[in-house]
Amino acid sequence: MKKRLLFYKLKEHIQHKNALVITGMRQVGKTTLLKQIYEELGQKPKLSFDFDNPLDQKIFEDIEYNNIYQRLSNMAGTTDKSERLYIFIDEIQNFPEITKVIKFMIDHYGVKFFVTGSSGFYLKNLFPESLSGRKFLYVLPPLGFQELLYFRDKISLEQALKSSSLPDITTRSYTDLVRFSEDYREYLEFGGLPEVVMTADLTTKIEILRNAFSSFFEKDLKLLSDYKDIRELRDLILLLVPRVGSMLDISKLGIELGVERKKIYSYLEFLEGTFFLRLIPKFSHSVDRSVAGGKKVYFCDTGLLKMIGNVNDGQLLENGVANQLAPLGDISFYNKRNTMEIDFIYNKEIAFEIKTKASENDIEKTQEISKKLGLSKSFVVSLNYIDHKNVISPYQL
């Protein structure tokens, strides 16, 4: 089985004292990744727990943490305290108290923890203080396009690993662009959930996406115990689909849903924190852009977006490019009173304007705005590729 690219980054930190915490939306492969690291350790003393199972939680329910360590040592069959113990825990958000145990075990016994959790919203609130300085937190996203090509044996592992940063986007050959065009259209249509990517049958792909959406509601939304809230959240998601790539008007959303602005903000925070949505801020040269006006909304997986509702080809392409760029660095957008706009600005340096088919006017306009903003480079990302030094294909990202 292919390994997610994050595996190779985690592997570098196996011997570090800090706990490795992996979060991300459901069905991106966190549990599989945990199992692969577990197997990588070979015969080292190790134990694996699934906190979806209450019996696994019970092992850690003891006010005397030394007893828990002794229990784990016995289970792992190790009596030598100098031998390091490796503990793997899946779905950590089901048992919040565990963070105190983890801190104690790291500080007193040097236990190495590998943990996963599906709700970033919950994990962000859970970990900042309780494991301060004792964790490395990683987000596992759906497959990016380069990782998808690797999973399908279209590019090598070495090539895929280079995709963790923005590539030299001027070096891909036209042959590659033609070769990957069908893969990219499927990437936009069905997204990057690993099981979806590796399933050939189209009907089955859609069924997997339906199950992923249902799982999100059944598990992550348990954090909102009020049924009315869950229903409102569902309706908000449906309202956001046609707004993909647009600046959000919170007041209008509140009126359409019949709820106050404050609640809309809390729902959006939840959806972003559980990696369901991605909110892109306006471009600013200042450090703090958190209050710089309306943000643009995108879904973290285009397959889920298409399954939930209808968007046009331009919106789908823009959402796909957002998902390709976001893991690589900081992205924002520029909009001056709807008269001048750039879809994405990468690391405050490179402008990307997204078009299904680029025109000469698109190229000139993007260059003109980029110069005014003091950006070093600008490109038009065109699904229908044209031969121009300032036009690239989305397959190149």
What single string gives the DSSP state of each residue in 124-157? HHHSTTTTTTSEEEEE-PSPPHHHHHHHTTSS-H
What gap in Å lies between CA 72 and CA 337, rounded to an integer?
61
> Tokens for 121?
């919203």
- Residue 167's pLDDT is 65
349: pLDDT confidence band, cut at 50, 70 and 90? very high
- Single-letter amino acid code for the residue at 115: V
96: pLDDT confidence band, cut at 50, 70 and 90? confident
Q: Taking a C-beta distance cutoff of 8 angstroms, is the pair 34, 116 a contact?
A: yes
Q: Which residue has the higher pLDDT, 172 or 359?
A: 359
Residue range 6-139 forms a domain whose CATH class is: alpha beta
292: pLDDT confidence band, cut at 50, 70 and 90? very low
CA nearest neighbour of 344 among 289, 395, 296:
296
What residue spans define the domains of the chain?
A: 6-139, 145-396
> Tokens for 357?
């088919």
pLDDT at 291 over 50: no
- Residue 205's pLDDT is 96
- Residue 64's pLDDT is 96
- Residue 288's pLDDT is 47
286: pLDDT confidence band, cut at 50, 70 and 90? low
Average pLDDT, the chain: 90
- Residue 128's pLDDT is 67
pTM over 0.85: yes
225: pLDDT confidence band, cut at 50, 70 and 90? low
Q: Average pLDDT in the 229-250 region?
A: 93
68-72, 75-79, 139-143, range with the lowest pLDDT = 75-79
- Single-letter amino acid code for the residue at 394: P
Q: Which residue has the higher pLDDT, 121 or 257?
A: 257
Write the CB contacts of 63 (distance below 8 Å, at least 6 apart in sequence): none
Share above pLDDT 90 across residues of the chain, in percent, rounded to a whole number: 71
pLDDT at 293 over 60: no
